[in-house]
Structure 1
Amino acid sequence: MVNVIARSRLKSGCMEEYLRILKANVPTVLAEEGCLRYEPCLDVDADPAKGEYVTILESWESQAHLQAHLATKHMAAFRDAVAPLREENNVLVVTPA
């Protein structure tokens, strides 16, 4: 199993649009082979003065499943749609010890 923590810092005022696009994509991702979890999350103690962040927690059966996910047309469309809304995106891929 591999886990992904994908954290995006959004441009000011873009949270609502970003979440709309993201939530529309969630059912498609969850239906992918090997997807165990794909969950958008918001900071509990968010401080808008420090930026607006969205974190996606993902779990995949294998690295191969994650790679297949990243190569899908719907993820390419998602990345294109949210690119103008993000300041930065950081992805951490980990596996259980």
Structure 2
Amino acid sequence: MLTIIAEIYTHEGAEHRQAVLDAFQKIIPTVLTENGCHGYESLIDHLPAIEMQALNQNSIVMLEKWQSTEHLEAHMQTAHMKQYFEATKAHVANVKVRILEACF
């Protein structure tokens, strides 16, 4: 089982982050039915913040669970993901992806 943490950084301005969140809202139900998907959710910073918390109003974290690399790669080639990328390309400044596996 893989855990994917995708940090999506949007351009400055709440409208950019909201556009990406709206695009995710449209595809999440479909992604959750994909073969090998065990979780797919978008997360934003909790407010009010506490002292130790780092904040970035221009970021979204996707927390995903996939059965295997093959399932993740198939997900990235779906029509709904291609539509998501097209719909959000003007709003996303950068993306950092971590693919993690349990060590025990």
The answer to whether the 8 Å contact 2:45/2:57 transfers is: no
Q: Give the counterpart of 1:96 among 86, 95, 102.
A: 102
Q: Give the counterpart of 1:19 among 10, 18, 21.
A: 21
TM norm structure 2: 0.84
Give the letter for the 1:73 counterpart.
Answer: A
How much does 1:92 deviate?
0.7
By percentage of residues, which structure has more helix?
1
How much does 1:51 deviate?
4.8
What residue number does 2:78 align with? Answer: 72
The answer to whether the 8 Å contact 1:4/1:57 transfers is: yes
Give the letter for the 1:3 counterpart.
Answer: T
Looking at structure 2, the residues matched to 87 and 10 of structure 1 have their Cα atoms a distance apart, in angstroms, of: 5
What residue number does 1:3 align with? Answer: 3
Unaligned runs of 5+ in 1: none
Q: Give the counterpart of 2:43 among 18, 41, 44.
A: 41
User: 1:4-51: CA deviations, max 9, x gaps?
Assistant: 10111111221221111111110010010110000100022464xx55
Q: Work out which of the two has the higher radius of gyration on C-alpha atoms and give 1 or 2.
A: 2
Q: Secondary structure at the match of 2:90?
A: helix
TM norm structure 1: 0.89
Aligned residues between the structures: 95
Percent identity for Structure 1 against Structure 2: 31
Alpha-carbon RMSD across the aligned residues, in angstroms, is: 1.4
Looking at structure 1, the residues matched to 7 and 62 of structure 2 have their Cα atoms a distance apart, in angstroms, of: 6
Looking at structure 1, the residues matched to 33 and 5 of structure 2 have their Cα atoms a distance apart, in angstroms, of: 19
Q: Secondary structure at the match of 1:84?
A: coil
